[in-house]
Amino acid sequence: MPADSMHSLYARANAIFAFMLWVLSAVTAACFLSTLFLNYTTNVHLDVANVKLRRINDYASDSGVADMAYFDFSLKADVSPLFNWNVKQLFVYLVAEYATEKNPVNQVVIWDRILHRNNRVVIDERIVTPKYHLMDDGNHLQGHKNITFVLRYNVVPNAGYLRLAQAEGQIQVAMPDTYAVGKVRQ
């Protein structure tokens, strides 16, 4: 190989490109490592009101009926401490959790929102109707004493892994023993 091929334009461009990739990889790794051990918890205040329960026809379930809960909730959380220079956005969602004999773990997402860095980072929702229904595939919600509402979120980083976190402060709600009669708002 001739000695002048080492100094050709192609060889120099290749060397610069390889060095640039190494530097970008090092900066990306430093970005990830600098936020790896940060605390991603925050406090939340939840309130659930006007709980009503209906029995509806559900042809997909084994019993042919299902319980559907109707309620309003209020949610207040300051998620600004979760944002740092490695957080692109948060996917925030409210989950209703309960256990039954048939299914020991039931988790139903009833509300969600995507918060970008440039949006407001204080969630203040008052008397909100859930975005998604809280429905059980049977009559397991009737008289259930421990439906736990908890706020969870995915921290979407610029570099690194997608972190799943949970806010501190949850609420436990008891479902009514009787079904609502008449018209229930939907």
The pLDDT, as a whole number, for residue 99 is 92
More confident residue, 150 or 185: 150
- Tell me which residue has tokens 């309620």: 71
Overall pTM surpassing 0.85 (yes/no): no
Percent pLDDT > 90 in the chain is: 47
More confident residue, 139 or 26: 26
The ranges assigned to domains in the chain are 3-34, 44-173
Q: Is the torsion defined by CA of 107, 112, 116, 120 positive or negative?
A: negative
CATH code for residues 44-173: 2.60.40
Q: Please tell me the distance from the alpha carbon of residue 50 to that of residue 68, in angstroms, as a whole number.
A: 14
